[in-house]
Homo-oligomer: A and B are copies of this chain.
Amino acid sequence: MLAFAAVVALGTALLSLPAATTTGEPAELVTALFTATSAVCVTGLVVVDTPTHWSTFGEVVILCLIQVGGLGIMTIASLLGLLVSRRFGLRLQLTAQTETKALDLGDVRRVVRGVALVSLAFELVTSLVLAARFAIGYDYGVADALYHGVFHSVSAFNNAGFALFPDNLVGFATDPWICVPIAAAVLAGGLGFPVWVEVWRRTRERRRKARWSLHTKITVVTSGVLLVVGVAVVTLAEWNNPATLGRFDAGGSLVAGFFHGVMPRTAGFNSIDVGQMESGTLLINDILMFIGGGSASTAGGIKVTTFALLAFVIYAEIRGEPSVHVMGRKLPATAQRQALSVALLSVGAVVAGTLLLLTLTPFRLEFVLFEAISAFSTAGMTTGITAEVGTAGHVVLLVLMFLGRVGPITLASALALRERSRRYELPEERPIVG
């Protein structure tokens, strides 16, 4: 958490240099701070237009901040997940089984190396595909194509949503050669490191018949369901909206609908004007962003496992089961309470942020709620009001981004690690519920 703050501070300092802007005038402090926070938290909300306001040096600073933020969040979350698993005597697939309940330097080194390798592999492939498309389809020079390929690939895998075009990716809305690789990188980054480690292990060790871990199964299945819901809602609800999908032909609509169905997990690129979406689409987007991506991934939100656990608890309760069984495994009661705490405290943070923004700005609930959830879940999509909420509004968004980035992970791990036993028990009493 402190490390995050330190990187934000360094980024702010670099972006405040005259060399970071196109005009050579140093950026205002709040602009630099907001951009640095947005990059390190891989949120992607911007108060100034990236290519217009920042010089190439500034862009490279942003790129580095995104990369450091993405690697950092995956590493920290993976290590905390590992610590929690060991504490409970359960094995997480991240490293070979060890005897200790604590983390040693070897664990840290292995996780850092693994996270870096996974990130680089996905970013390299995506960069090359994008660079090829920029060079062939849009006549960019080789250096320029590579630069654009690398920037958007890193921004995509780290679910950052920064782009080098004033209108983000609106210009490529119907080009599957740009949109599909970016969407794929977003999904890969959003599944999370633990999932990729398990995939890698199984491929290398040829243990194809071994059981997949509960974490991986829940993450992949829930992400898949949310992806289908997202794509279906955006495509169907916006099909006839002349301000969004209505202006494309069927093929273009499918590309843009697919792209925007992927984005709430929580990349935040946009290829259509989010502010022009139907109210219902915005509300579904709110929910999808709030849920977010996988644990120990580059995505934000309360995480798909948290959401799925709550759904399983309710399902078990409706069936009258005394314990919660998921895919052949029993969920510990403490994990259920942790999911509940993470979800409800996150609701609290979003509601508080929304209230403050409603009070501080003239915008209506629809847009303010979207902005607050987008900041908290580090999605970074916007209906277009980010630049106009004023300095106080920027501070609120800034706090939401930071809280949303480090909050759920830290909270969940802290809750799991702080569990202690009680020396005495009180008699039970049951108030009436409902």
Contacts and interface: CB of A to CB of B under 8 A. Distances in A.
B332 A428 contact: yes
B434 A303 contact: yes
A317 B295 contact: no
Interface in A187-212: 194
B412 A329 contact: no
Interface in A298-336: 302-303, 305-306, 309-310, 313-314, 316-323, 325, 328-336
A219 B434 CA distance: 12
Contact of A433 (B214, B303, B314, B320): B303
A401 interface: no
A320 B420 CA distance: 6
From A354, A364, A426, residue with most partner B Cβ within 10 Å: A426
B280 A359 contact: yes
A305 to B, nearest CB: 5
A39 to B, nearest CB: 22
A418 B194 contact: no
A365 interface: yes
Per assembly, the copies of the chain total 2
Given A322-B419, A355-B284, A364-B365, A339 B426 contact: no
B366 A433 contact: no
Contact of A415 (B85, B88, B318, B422): B318
A334 to B, nearest CB: 7
Contacts of A418: 319-320
Contacts of A345: 314
A380 to B, nearest CB: 20
Contacts of A432: 77, 81, 84-85, 92, 194, 215, 295-296, 303, 305, 412
A415 B317 contact: yes
A341 B322 contact: no
A369 interface: yes
Contacts of A62: none
A218 interface: yes
A351 interface: yes
A323 B429 CA distance: 13
Given A283-B358, A408-B434, A433-B295, A340 B364 contact: no
A409 to B, nearest CB: 5
Contact of A341 (B317, B358, B415): B317
Contact of A283 (B77, B295, B365, B429): B365
A102 interface: no
Nearest to A362: B279
Nearest to A412: B434
Contacts of A339: 433
A342 interface: yes
Contacts of A316: 337
Contact of A279 (B322, B358, B429): B358
A104 interface: no
A1 interface: no
B428 A354 contact: no
A345 B280 CA distance: 19
Contacts of A241: none
A310 B344 CA distance: 9
Interface in A267-309: 278-280, 282-284, 287, 295-296, 302-303, 305-306, 309
Contacts of A214: 429-431
A416 B305 CA distance: 26
A170 to B, nearest CB: 24
A106 interface: no
B323 A422 contact: yes
Shortest Cβ-Cβ A-B pairs, 8 listed: A412-B434, A320-B418, A408-B434, A295-B432, A365-B366, A329-B429, A215-B431, A81-B432
Given A84-B432, A283-B355, A364-B366, 20 more contacts: A81-B432, A88-B430, A92-B432, A214-B431, A280-B355, A305-B433, A306-B434, A309-B431, A317-B337, A317-B338, A317-B341, A318-B415, A330-B425, A331-B429, A332-B428, A335-B430, A338-B433, A342-B433, A412-B432, A413-B434
